[in-house]
Chains A and B, each alone.
Chain A
Amino acid sequence: MAMRDLVTGGAACSVPGSSSSSNPLGSFANSLVGSASKTQGTYRELPVVGPSPHDGTSDFRPVDPLTNLPGSELDSQTNAQSSEFLQRVRAPSHGAFDGVWNDMHRPPPLHPSLAQGTQNQPSFDEFDQIFNQGIASNHQPTLDGPPQRVLASFLHSFVNSGRSGIPFQPASLPVLGLSEGDKHRIRNRSTILSRHIFANSSEDFITAQVNALLHSLEIDSNLQMKGPLRGRYPELEDYWNETQGALQPAAPHAVDRWVSEYNHHGPHENADSWAESFQQQHGANGWASEFEQEQSQLASMGELRGVNNANLAMEQSRMLAETLSRNNDPKFKNSKFLQFVSKMSRGELIVDDNQVKPTGVANDWADQFSRENSSFGGNAWADEFANEQVHQGPADEQWVNEFSKLHLQDWGDEFEQQANEGILGRGEADDWADNFLDEVWSVKRGSDSSKSVYVFSDLNPYVGHPDPLKEGQELFRKGLLSEAVLALEAEVLKNPENAEGWRLLGITHAENDDDQQAIASMMRAHEVDPTNLEVLLALGVSHTNELEQAAALKYLYGWLQHHPKYGTIAPPMQPENSLYHPDVIRMFNEAAQMSPEDADVHIVLGVLYNLSREYDKAISSFETALKLRSQDYSLWNKLGATQANSVQSADAILAYQQALDLKPNYVRAWANMGISYANQGMHEESIRYYVRALGMNPKADNAWQYLKISLSCASRSDMFEACDSRNLDLLQKEFPL
């Protein structure tokens, strides 16, 4: 049923919001073949694109309710298969066989669908005609009159033997005068057909049946199965060249015809039963091997000129992959084919010279891919399928093995899994691109952090406010940090030289858990007022948080140098890289001895010990400072963070709680709480705290990242999408604190 949905575009696999949701596979084939021929006319005839203007072609669709009649399933399935087969026979030009096949179906009670099939004869004829133009020389339709009818009933009995499951009895037939080419085709096609109608039977049985049939028709079943492809299939090659070579005038039309035919059958019972029997026969992986086989076939078929409409092809393959991944059949989900297509759609794999290669120029692989897939449209596909065993040489196996060992596989699998779990809600290619852009941006921000470019908000209601600094200070005091950021941004836009504006903005960002922006604003404050101690300390702290040790050390040393009381201890600024951490520690300890009641000195010492990861000393420095200044919430947070980093998470949570009691909207402390719970393996709790922090500052990127990790650790992948789309309402509802 999965395949049925896939082909018919059933609700289960439709892509919400996508215009092509009605039939992903159809539109996939559509774009591939359509782009190959670059013929506008194609689209008019495709049911997925719009209503068909041709009465003749719309008649072609079988009547749906037929498939639902009780007891008729088998009939319709078999007939569907055989009419599919019928097309194959007809398509390469055997006008003479059409009658045979139609006769074959007439004797039993006539199906409406078949009656329709005959009504559509004109379109077949047209197709045949077109086709014959290309390859006229090869065929000599010789069957007329009685032998044709004999052959029809003979073939009919062959088909019937599939339903009853009894072995097919060879019968003697009059001399039919079949040419080598005809025999060849009959052999190939009966092999295919039998695989469908005997799908439930063993391989041996199928082979026996086919051999019996072929024997009756005096076709050697073994001899001609061997030999090189070239020369054996002149008409096949012609067909290929025709479909692929855009230069030949007849080609596009032939392809279009075919596609419209295919699509008319595709969305209905025909394709369903095809797909079903195909799956039964080969398992889901049959698709994959078929697909792979196709590529190797193609490589040996010669150079086929591709198409340039790469973007469309990629888009379509992505949609196909997406559709496939929504499929509920686990067997299918894990199929190589799905993985293959999805990798293709992400551009991870390209196919080049009979080998799958990871990554490459998108256009290249898309060209290749569409070339491969054009064969979906041709009889060649069926023929290749029939010849699968024959051409499955050692080289191909090797190739397949190589493919399965490809390094990307595992990563691909995981991606696939994630996609199935719904992380990548909008489709993988989009997400890929988004991720990439995000990262480019964050990398840019990261590398700029030393130069610190401050990124202003886009829309700021405080621009034009008479006194944004005062407003900002007020908001900051109230703990509305995100609002305060906006007001302070308005202030520094108005007065770029206002060090206090920049400093408070930096503090606000730090409390809002955004160190990059904090550093950027503090750098501006530092430019305006290079000796501001609070700015120097804040820069030292922020750089420590960002693990930028050398920079942190420089600013903390600067703090000492510029301090009116302790400046004498510090020698004039040395070249940056010669700063020696133990020396700086020693000088601060001297300062602390000079005035043990100065909390600031202890705070800077605490930060310095954090830098050198002497956490015990850092903790005691902060504790000393807290005795002097117990109402400093940021000091409580510093103590907590230090304790957390020295894996005293339980103590840390107490310290954070102190900070939050003093300042309930302290985003950094909420986020730190989450980190502490996460580091203790209490992921459910950590999620609640992250969500709480994000509720106050949705721009805290770190918290989003940590939230996602915790969601994954807590096996809450169902919330990934909410996390990715930053859907706070949903998260807050799910994880209230």
Chain B
Amino acid sequence: MALSSQLKTDALMEQMKLHLATDAGKELTKKIGLVYQINIGPKKIGVDEETYVVDLKKGEVTKGAYQGKPDCTFSFKDDDFVSVAMGKMNPQIAFLRGAMKIKGSLSAAQKFTPDIFPKPSKM
């Protein structure tokens, strides 16, 4: 299997996909029930973006734009997304520093917290 993407985000999303199948993941869809679209630019927001959809209604992660209207769309740089998802950077601070762009419902954006992503374990 080839490495489909050099993005760090891709690794996290892959893990998220597995995570959503677990009990904890199902709890998450029950709790949040929103659809997030996340655009990741490898080096810069808006440049060569790859798009992921974290569907916490159905409990799945897909690549490519959402068919329909997501509750909220975020744009990140690859590193910044990883920082936010792993709790290194507070989403509010990311937003205020311009490291995270938000489009859509703000109440949905508020529920986008680091704890929805599983943490990678280290070898």
- Enumerate B90-121 residues with CB–CB distance to A below 8 Å: 90, 92-93, 95-96, 102, 106-107, 109-110, 113-115, 118-121
Cβ of A676 under 8 Å from chain B: yes
**A547 in contact with B12 given A435-B93, A641-B122, A672-B122 (CB within 8 Å):** yes
Number of interface residues of B (CB under 8 A): 42
Q: Mark A630-659, 1 if CB is under 8 A from B, else 0.
A: 000010011011101111010010000000
**A410 in contact with B106 given A547-B11, A641-B121, A645-B121 (CB within 8 Å):** yes
Cβ-closest chain A residue relative to B94: A439
Q: Is the CB of B1 within 8 A of A614?
A: yes
B92 to chain A: which residues have CB within 8 Å?
411, 414-415
A285 to chain B: which residues have CB within 8 Å?
none
Q: Is the CB of B118 within 8 A of A679?
A: yes
- Report which residue of A439, A637, A645 has the largest number of chain B beta carbons within 10 angstroms of its beta carbon: A645
Q: Mark A526-557, 1 if CB is under 8 A from B, else 0.
A: 00000000000000010011011110000000
Q: Is the CB of A637 within 8 A of B115?
A: no
Cβ-closest chain B residue relative to A615: B18
Which one of B2, B96, B119 contacts A411 once the chains associate, using CB atoms below 8 Å? B96
Nearest CB on B from A348, distance (A): 7
Cβ of A705 under 8 Å from chain B: yes
**A411 in contact with B95 given A545-B120, A681-B23 (CB within 8 Å):** yes
A642 to chain B: which residues have CB within 8 Å?
121, 123
A611 to chain B: which residues have CB within 8 Å?
3
Stretch touching chain B among A146-154, A395-403, A706-714: A706-714
Q: Is the CB of B123 within 8 A of A547?
A: no
A541 to chain B: which residues have CB within 8 Å?
123
Cβ of B82 under 8 Å from chain A: yes
**A439 in contact with B1 given A641-B123, A681-B24 (CB within 8 Å):** no
Which one of A410, A545, A679, A712 contacts B19 once the chains associate, using CB atoms below 8 Å? A679
B21 to chain A: which residues have CB within 8 Å?
647
Nearest CB on A from B115, distance (A): 5
Nearest CB on B from A698, distance (A): 17
Query: How many residue pairs between the two chains, A and B, have CB atoms under 8 Å in the bound complex?
Result: 120
- Enumerate A428-445 residues with CB–CB distance to B below 8 Å: 435-436, 439, 442
Cβ of B8 under 8 Å from chain A: yes
Which one of B1, B6, B121 contacts A676 once the chains associate, using CB atoms below 8 Å? B121
Which one of A581, A646, A702 contacts B18 once the chains associate, using CB atoms below 8 Å? A646
Q: Is the CB of A645 within 8 A of B15?
A: yes
Cβ of A675 under 8 Å from chain B: yes
- Enumerate A679-737 residues with CB–CB distance to B below 8 Å: 679-681, 701-702, 705-706, 708-710, 712-713
Cβ of A678 under 8 Å from chain B: yes
Q: Mark A612-627, 1 if CB is under 8 A from B, else 0.
A: 1110000000000000
Q: Is the CB of A435 within 8 A of B90?
A: yes
Which one of B15, B106, B115, B121 contacts A713 once the chains associate, using CB atoms below 8 Å? B115
Nearest CB on A from B8, distance (A): 4
- Report which residue of B3, B14, B82, B107 has the largest number of chain A beta carbons within 10 angstroms of its beta carbon: B3
C-alpha gap A646/B118 in the complex (Å)? 11
Cβ-closest chain B residue relative to A435: B93
Cβ of B87 under 8 Å from chain A: yes
C-alpha gap A671/B119 in the complex (Å)? 11
Cβ-closest chain A residue relative to B95: A411
Cβ-closest chain B residue relative to A673: B121
Which one of A407, A607, A708 contacts B123 once the chains associate, using CB atoms below 8 Å? A607
Which one of A607, A647, A681 contacts B27 once the chains associate, using CB atoms below 8 Å? A681
Cβ of A387 under 8 Å from chain B: no
Cβ of B89 under 8 Å from chain A: yes
Q: Is the CB of A652 within 8 A of B121?
A: yes
B6 to chain A: which residues have CB within 8 Å?
549-550
Q: Is the CB of B14 within 8 A of A705?
A: no
Which one of A359, A672, A705 contacts B121 once the chains associate, using CB atoms below 8 Å? A672
Which one of A513, A581, A668 contacts B3 once the chains associate, using CB atoms below 8 Å? A581
Q: Mark A411-423, 1 if CB is under 8 A from B, else 0.
A: 1001100000000
Cβ of B63 under 8 Å from chain A: no
Cβ-closest chain A residue relative to B119: A675
Nearest CB on B from A552, distance (A): 10
Cβ of A243 under 8 Å from chain B: no
Q: Is the CB of B14 within 8 A of A613?
A: yes
C-alpha gap A310/B19 in the complex (Å)? 49
A710 to chain B: which residues have CB within 8 Å?
115
Cβ of A515 under 8 Å from chain B: yes
Cβ-closest chain A residue relative to B27: A681
A544 to chain B: which residues have CB within 8 Å?
123
A410 to chain B: which residues have CB within 8 Å?
106-107, 109-110
A581 to chain B: which residues have CB within 8 Å?
1-3
Cβ of B49 under 8 Å from chain A: no
A640 to chain B: which residues have CB within 8 Å?
121
Q: Is the CB of B11 within 8 A of A613?
A: yes
Cβ of A582 under 8 Å from chain B: yes
Cβ of A283 under 8 Å from chain B: no
Cβ-closest chain B residue relative to A544: B123
B2 to chain A: which residues have CB within 8 Å?
580-582, 612
Nearest CB on B from A252, distance (A): 38
Cβ-closest chain A residue relative to B28: A681
C-alpha gap A668/B18 in the complex (Å)? 23
Nearest CB on B from A490, distance (A): 27
Q: Is the CB of A705 within 8 A of B120?
A: no
Cβ of B86 under 8 Å from chain A: yes
Cβ of B79 under 8 Å from chain A: yes
Cβ of B67 under 8 Å from chain A: no
Nearest CB on B from A606, distance (A): 8
C-alpha gap A446/B15 in the complex (Å)? 22
C-alpha gap A357/B84 in the complex (Å)? 26
C-alpha gap A645/B19 in the complex (Å)? 9
Q: Is the CB of B107 within 8 A of A709?
A: no
A317 to chain B: which residues have CB within 8 Å?
none
Nearest CB on B from A148, distance (A): 60
Cβ-closest chain A residue relative to B118: A679
B79 to chain A: which residues have CB within 8 Å?
446
C-alpha gap A414/B91 in the complex (Å)? 11
8 contacts between A and B (CB under 8 A): A410-B106, A435-B93, A550-B6, A581-B1, A581-B2, A613-B1, A613-B11, A647-B18
Binding site for A on B (CB under 8 A): 1-3, 6, 8, 11-12, 14-15, 18-19, 21-24, 27, 79, 82-83, 86-90, 92-93, 95-96, 102, 106-107, 109-110, 113-115, 118-123
**Beyond the given A545-B123, A706-B87, could you list 20 further A-B residue pairs with CB under 8 A, ordered by the A residue number?**
A411-B95, A411-B110, A415-B92, A435-B90, A435-B93, A442-B83, A446-B79, A544-B123, A549-B6, A580-B2, A581-B1, A582-B2, A610-B123, A647-B19, A668-B122, A681-B27, A702-B88, A705-B87, A705-B114, A706-B119
